[in-house]
Amino acid sequence: MALPRIASQDEWRAALVELLKKEKELTRARDALNLERRNLPMVEVDKEYVFDGPAGKVTLADIFEGRPQLIIYHFMFHPEWDDGCPSCTAGTDELSDAFFEHLHTRDTTYAMVSRAPLEKLERWKTKKGWTVPWYSSYGTDFNYDFGVTIDGERGFDEYNFRTLDEYVALGHESMKTADQPYDMPGRTCFLTVDGRIFRTYSQYARGLESTGGSYYFLDLTALGRQEEWEEPKGRSDSVRKAQPDFSS
């Protein structure tokens, strides 16, 4: 097991202070990136989407619950599945009522949308004990239009703004060879102004690893995420694949 070098208190402090300089640079860079994100242009959502919710049919505007901002997590749940995506489930497990309340105090609603029928979502939600609002887009174009259902025959052959051919070139052949249509995770932010709805931001893939926050806490530790891609090698006796469902 390749543990960190043992040092004196003074050596440890000096090394940490040097690292702190880089951490502060990263914080300033993140602040600048967040500003750039807030300055992105936005595009109006002019298609009418109707979802199935626990209280019946709802529109995208209804999901805002009267607040100006909405964050939708595109939870992977194929219509033919009986259980939700393990990775999406792991992240959602870590969210709490306080998390939702904190967003609400900043005029932001958080909800999830999946392609599976509502009864499957409700069963999984009940099993997990979640309170997050969850809506079904079954039979609509919503998942397709927002880049989380892949169906090349219908022209939806991109994920995370890369074509399936680009994934093949990067060595991810399964993105193209998997049976289609299939679902992927994502997150989209919306803003409503004077009755109009705008899409302001979307993120996919590793952009979603902040959900729940476990990875970011593990990044602070000496053993890290304990996944096979991490450096330095040999740091953990139980190296895992990059599986954000935390199943092993």
pLDDT in tens, 171-206: 999 999 999 999 999 999 999 999 999 999 999 999
- Does residue 34 carry a pLDDT above 90? yes
Question: CB count, 10 Å around CB of 93?
Answer: 16
What's the whole-model pTM score?
A: 0.92
**Which pLDDT does position 242 carry in this prediction?**
80
Per-residue pLDDT tens digits for 199-238 = 999 999 999 999 988 888 899 998 888 888 888 888 887 8
Which is it for strands 196-204 and 149-150: parallel, antiparallel or unpaired? unpaired
Can you state the angle between helices 86-93 and 118-128, rounded to 10 degrees? 50
Domains of the chain: 42-148+184-208 (3.40.30.10), 213-248 (no CATH)
The residue with greater pLDDT, 147 or 2, is 147
Pairwise CA distance, residues 248 & 230, whole Å: 16
Pairwise CA distance, residues 206 & 51, whole Å: 27
Per-residue pLDDT tens digits for 43-99 = 999 999 999 999 999 999 999 999 999 999 999 999 999 999 999 999 999 999 999
**Which pLDDT does position 243 carry in this prediction?**
75
**Which pLDDT does position 235 carry in this prediction?**
82
**Which pLDDT does position 145 carry in this prediction?**
97
User: In this structure, are residues 72 and 63 in contact, taking their beta carbons and an 8 Å threshold?
Assistant: yes
**Which pLDDT does position 248 carry in this prediction?**
60
- Does residue 2 carry a pLDDT above 90? no
Pairwise CA distance, residues 86 & 136, whole Å: 18
Most distant CA atoms of the chain, gap in Å: 64
Nearest to 69 by CA among 173, 188, 181: 188
Pairwise CA distance, residues 107 & 101, whole Å: 10
Percent of the chain with pLDDT over 90: 84
**Which pLDDT does position 121 carry in this prediction?**
98
Q: Which residues pair with 56 in a beta bridge?
A: 53
